[in-house]
Structure 1
Amino acid sequence: MHKGKCNSIADVAGVTVGHVTLDEKINEEESVCTGVTAILPHGGNWFEQKTPAASFVLNGFGKTAGLVQIDELGVLESPIMLTNTFSVAAVLQGTMDYMLAENPAIGDSTSSLNVLVGECNDSYLNSMRRMAVGPAHAVQAIRTASADFAQGAVGAGKGMICYGVKGGIGSSSRIVKYGNEQFTAGALVLTNFGRKEEIAIANWLPENTPEQRPDGSVIIVIATDAPLDSRQLKRLAKRAAIGLGRTGTHVHNGSGDIIIAFSTAYTIPHQQQSPYTDLRLLRDDHEVMAGLFQSVIESTEEAVYQSLFHAETTSGRMGRVVEKGLFE
């Protein structure tokens, strides 16, 4: 199966990604080693033009905001924001500030706003109790989003660890062709999970991997331009779990493994006169769906490895150092 031109989630037209990375040694004991990542589903008004979306919780040891409404209504009306566990509230606040400024009707003449924020625990390297991420960092991540974005130890991935080495942000994409048509599916991951003995790739871990630490987490974001509804997107989200499993993880008790999927093929207006919505959707039994399942599995698997490949050896609090994996 062919990769997209950028081999990233940005191969799905309109999707952009922005980072704010915070890296500062405070003293011998404390360091800020964290950040924010924003995934924008399209370049328009996300509240007025919602995208179909779904989530799948593989293991629910996580502190996300906004998932309940995603599953109830099947639409995404904000960027997907990623950060560390203790910064969910600040990032939600900043994203809300940005969107309220763009949409004066929210909370006044129309409904409230559902902001989606995911997290992983970066407290091995980051002095997470300092809560260094502020609302302004979320706004900055949104404003700087582009199709040409960095991967590795950047944004929300700055302080993350995966399979005992430096993890972070990774992305990949695949193209599904059918006749004269083609669809793209892309994955972006925030990797902070797994023990060194689990990884499926052998002979690439450095000797000095971190001491035993709490079970981590992973957030997986799947985007596609295939015309799917929320129910079908949940089916795609479930396949991302297979791609994750291919890398070796056992999905531990304390790991928050959460998958969010959305489609850019159409948008759902916040308000319209007609009580009906007419959609042109792919059939579940068509061979293209099987291709999309495969594309999600492959792009998720590669995105995990991309997060390791692009990461750099990183130092953090308590003098701790997490090394980059050994790639030939």
Structure 2
Amino acid sequence: MSARPTGARPGPRELGVVVGDLPTGPANAITDVAGVRVGHTTLHEGERLHTGVTAVVPDALGAGPGRRRSLPCGLFVGNGFGKLVGATQLEQLGTIETPVVLTATLSAFRAADALVTHVLALPGYEEVRSLNPLVGETNDGYLSDIRARPITEDHVLAALDGATAGPVAQGCVGAGAGTSALGYKGGIGTSSRRVEVAGATRTVGALVQSNFSGTLTVQGVPMPAADLLGTPSISSAGPRAEEIDEVPKGSGVPEGNSCMIVVATDAPLDARRLERVARRAVFAMGRVGSDFSHGSGDYGLAFTTADPADRLLLPDDALNPLFAATMDAVEEALLASVLTAVTTVGHRGTEHGVPHDALLARLRAAGALPGR
């Protein structure tokens, strides 16, 4: 297991790209929602493996004083070409019982078993006989040998046990180590917003695993890979055309790909309202240029850490600020997932990082970024 490539490139704000006018939290990450931690396990082994695990861990889940066995959560499926483990119970009951784990498509099932191991080992879970693990995925099979299914229980447990608050590593880390998005190298991205809702300051945080096709769009300005890289995009995200019977080789039709979006908030919302928030999270993909193709698994999850003693749920007509905060946080997280990623030589080809100088030049030419 190697630490290369890294996700150390500048993100949107460091490049002068600011989404919306709402303030961020101190880390500009999903961890700005109090009690939410993130952990990564990253595998980079030569050109053969670029994959990993990302865990979003709400501290409110668990046994003991102040802990709960479930949190309200909403799910919105933009397109269901995916393997979201635990989706049906989440949809039916509107709650999550475990942290959210993200990984590669063919490793999702091993990750789910490891997540069960993690939760059953917690104090107070000795008599539990049923549990709904929640594991999302995208297909990193272009850059990584996905058929090897290299993710083990130890990798998942390391991401869960190593989850921390504060700044979150982005780009080619964790579940984003081998992903591709919008003609470039994709990855993990995160962002947050603070907003006044019904007289109280609330925080919304988003974390994304980007692996979808389309044309990267920044501040409304298209950034085609063919233009910025000076060559046609070497690959599309997700499984290759030969893995999808409906897409003939060489057809030019976008191949299967996906995006997982996890939204956390401290606002008092029930599952129905959280589903409306999750819906806006998927809508935000359109802002950065997603083509929402046939083979894409686009999922939005939104959960709340609000104290259940706060029984005064926000009314529907008070949700607009949360919707705006969600759209902005997800848009910035998606941009961060691509802009922080580095060029990666993989199992079946290469995905290039976005050339920042060319991107900034195009933004200035379009009047979308002040000149220097």
Report if TM-score (shorter chain) is over 0.5. yes
Aligned to 1:33: 50
Q: Which of the numbers 59, 70, 77 marks the counterpart of 2:90? A: 70
**Residue pairs, 1:264-283, within 5 angstroms:** 264-267=305-308, 279-283=311-315
Q: Call closer, same or farther: CA 1:92–1:153 in 2, change over 3 Å.
A: same
How far apart are residue 38 of structure 1 and its match? 0.2
Distance 1:252 1:9 in 2: 27
The gaps in structure 2 that reach 5 residues or longer are 1-21, 241-254, 358-372
Distance 1:94 1:132 in 2: 13
Q: Which of the numbers 114, 123, 148 marks the counterpart of 1:94? A: 114
Distance 1:181 1:260 in 2: 23
Aligned to 2:204: 185
Secondary structure of the corresponding residue to residue 210 of structure 2: strand
Q: Look up the equivalent residue of 1:323 and give its one-letter code.
A: H
TM-score, with structure 1 as normaliser: 0.89
**Residue pairs, 1:254-293, within 5 angstroms:** 254-267=295-308, 279-286=311-318, 289-293=319-323
Tell me if structure 1 keeps the 8 A contact 2:216–2:290: no
Q: Look up the equivalent residue of 1:85 and give its one-letter code.
A: T
How far apart are residue 164 of structure 1 and its match? 1.1
Tell me if structure 2 keeps the 8 A contact 1:80–1:117: yes
Secondary structure of the corresponding residue to residue 222 of structure 1: strand
Aligned to 1:175: 194
Distance 1:166 1:290 in 2: 33
Secondary structure of the corresponding residue to residue 34 of structure 1: strand
Secondary structure of the corresponding residue to residue 33 of structure 1: strand
Distance 1:72 1:322 in 2: 39
How far apart are residue 179 of structure 1 and its match? 7.3
Tell me if structure 1 keeps the 8 A contact 2:215–2:289: no
**1:45 aligned onto 2:45:** no
Q: Which of the numbers 334, 351, 356 marks the counterpart of 1:327? A: 356
Q: Look up the equivalent residue of 1:260 and give its one-letter code.
A: L
Aligned to 2:38: 17
How far apart are residue 58 of structure 1 and its match? 0.5
Secondary structure of the corresponding residue to residue 55 of structure 1: strand
Q: Call closer, same or farther: CA 1:201–1:215 in 2, change over 3 Å.
A: farther
How far apart are residue 207 of structure 1 and its match? 2.8
Q: Look up the equivalent residue of 2:316 and give its one-letter code.
A: D
Instruction: Give the count of matched residue pairs.
Output: 310
Tell me if structure 1 keeps the 8 A contact 2:197–2:321: no
The gaps in structure 1 that reach 5 residues or longer are 268-276
Q: Which of the numbers 198, 222, 232 marks the counterpart of 1:202? A: 222
Distance 1:5 1:207 in 2: 37
Tell me if structure 2 keeps the 8 A contact 1:176–1:184: yes
Distance 2:314 2:189 in 1: 28
Tell me if structure 2 keeps the 8 A contact 1:31–1:317: yes
Q: Look up the equivalent residue of 1:6 and give its one-letter code.
A: A
Of 242-251 and 231-240, the range deviating more from structure 2: 242-251
**1:163 aligned onto 2:176:** no
Q: Call closer, same or farther: CA 1:12–1:278 in 2, change over 3 Å.
A: closer
Secondary structure of the corresponding residue to residue 154 of structure 2: helix
Distance 2:98 2:104 in 1: 19
How far apart are residue 180 of structure 1 and its match? 5.6
For the aligned residue pairs, the C-alpha RMSD in angstroms reads 2.0
Identity across matched positions, percent: 40
Distance 1:204 1:10 in 2: 32
How far apart are residue 44 of structure 1 and its match? 4.9
Q: Which of the numbers 330, 341, 354 marks the counterpart of 1:311? A: 341
Of 234-243 and 12-21, the range deviating more from structure 2: 234-243
